[in-house]
Amino acid sequence: MHDVAAVAEKGSMRGRVEMYNANALKIGLFGANCSSARTATLVPERWSASWPDCLKLARLADEAGVDFLLPIGRWKGYGGDSDFHGTTLETLTWASGLLAATERITVFGTVHAPLFHPLIAAKEMVTADQIGGGRFGLNLVAGWNEGEFQMFGVAQREHEERYQFAQEWIDVIKRAWSGEEFDFDGRYFKLAGVRANPGPVGGTRPVIMNAGQSGTGQAFAMRNCDAFFTSTSGARLAAAGTSQAMDQAKVFELIVKQVNDIKAAGRKFGREIEVYTQGQVICRPTQKEAEDYYHYTNVENADWGAIDRMLALKNITPQNTAADVFAGKRSMMASHGVGGYPFVGTPDKVAEEFADLGRAGFRGLAVSFVNYLNDVPYFCAEVLPRLTRVGLRAMN
């Protein structure tokens, strides 16, 4: 159990990383700024991402002791019958509004480095941080979706260079936040006489998170970030092999290894990196109810058009992929909430799986729901107290 007293000070770096509470396993809501959130489904109750719904959700989550809200940086829908992610709220303005309306919860902005001038982004983030009294966090993304960049008339750089650019970008941001006056003579930015006041609350800086999956992306996170956001889909795919029934023990063995490898890589850069992952929660009083609803939302009513578009963006098509492999990837994306860990079951089962991931070394889980306002109250009432009982959460 973590020490609350040591993390209480608003704006301190330790306090920011701890999200000002003693919860050993941090829990956040992922993707609420995007329509349908993380489930490419056609069910009528799918998430709207409207501002009134986001505001209601943030207040409810703040009150219930949820640790953070993590938006998705998305500019253009993926198509399909629902135009998955076709309606989105911009994350820095979204975070600012929600920080003004809440008391305790940390709210991230997810920023595409190539789309924002770093001095504008630094100022917007400081403004959000001032509004929230030191509760703003940055999720930095280098970008991967070509169509989104074309929409801005911005050319997507080749992969290695994306992270060279992101390095300069974050260097400028950190210097702007430090309060010093500086010139910057880089390959991408040539800035003269920069002054940016105020700085972030407490004279520190917001927590920085990144979700690069490649070796270069991961090395970038190790050099620059406090937290690394990773996906468990590789471990789940590897454990599934060709069989339909996934061996849970094997999944956890692979996940433990994955987390340990990331932490070991962080130590090579002199960092104790915090590792997070994401998933989709469908929690119901009985296992059958949970599984039935999961089947209804993620299989029977999957938005296959959107799923195929997302796979095509990752260069996975029926033309270049063997039919059985393509079918497996398609079904994985639909049934596992766009690549997240599927927590489907009773409160006991969901809590047990959260606890297992906490014990595997994850510092936090960012989860999504088909409709947050329908589903989060039950999750908070039933799952959070179970995690408190096993020592992974403090009393709210």
- Interacting residues toward ligand FMN by CB under 6 A: 72-73, 110, 141-145, 211-214, 217, 229, 231, 278
Distance CA 69, CA 66 (A): 8
CB-wise, 96 or 231, nearer to ligand FMN? 231
- In the complex, the smallest distance separating the C-beta of residue 396 from ligand FMN, rounded to whole angstroms, is 26
Instruction: Give residues with Cβ within 8 angstroms of 258, minimum separation 6.
Output: 230, 232, 234, 235
Between residues 57 and 225, which has the closer beta carbon with respect to ligand FMN?
A: 225
Give least dist CB 100 to ligand FMN, A: 22
Q: Who contacts 9 (Cβ-Cβ below 8 Å, separation ≥6)?
A: 15, 202
In the bound state, the residue with its beta carbon closest to ligand FMN is 217
With respect to ligand FMN, which residue has the nearer C-beta, 20 or 94? 94
CA distance 84 to 310: 10
Residue found under tokens 């930015």: 189
Question: What are the Cα distances from residue 151, in Å, to 76, 77, 115, 148?
Answer: 8, 12, 11, 5
Closest approach of Cβ 165 to ligand FMN, in Å? 12
Evaluate the omega torsion of the peptide bond into residue 198 and state whether it is cis, within 30 degrees of 0: yes
Output 12 or 139, the one with its CB closest to ligand FMN.
139
Minimum distance, C-beta of residue 382 to ligand FMN, in the bound complex (Å): 25
Beta strands in the chain (DSSP E): 26-30, 68-70, 106-112, 136-141, 182-185, 190-194, 207-210, 227-230, 274-283, 341-345, 364-368
| Helix, strand or coil, per DSSP, at residue 197 | coil
Cβ atoms of residues 71 and 60 within 8 Å: no
**What's the min distance (Å) between Cβ of 145 and ligand FMN?**
6
Q: Measured from the CB of residue 210, what is the shortest distance to ligand FMN in angstroms? A: 7
Q: Three-class SS of residue 281?
A: strand
In the complex, minimum distance from the CB of residue 388 to ligand FMN, in angstroms, rounded to a whole number: 26
Closer CB to ligand FMN, residue 77 or residue 143?
143
Q: Nearer Cβ to ligand FMN, position 37 or 105?
A: 37
> In whole angstroms, what is the distance from residue 115 CA to residue 211 CA?
17
Residue with smaller CB distance to ligand FMN, 217 or 358: 217
CA 95 to CA 33: how far, in whole Å?
10
- Using the minimum distance from each CB to ligand FMN, give the nearer residue, 148 or 353: 148
Q: Least distance to ligand FMN from the beta carbon of 346, Å?
A: 26
Q: Could you tell me the smallest distance in angstroms from the CB atom of residue 159 to ligand FMN?
A: 6
What single-letter DSSP state applies at residue 316? -
Please identify, using beta-carbon distances, which residue of 15 and 143 lies nearer to ligand FMN. 143
CA 91 to each of CA 27, 33, 74, 136, 137: distance values in angstroms, whole numbers, following the listed order: 19, 7, 9, 11, 11
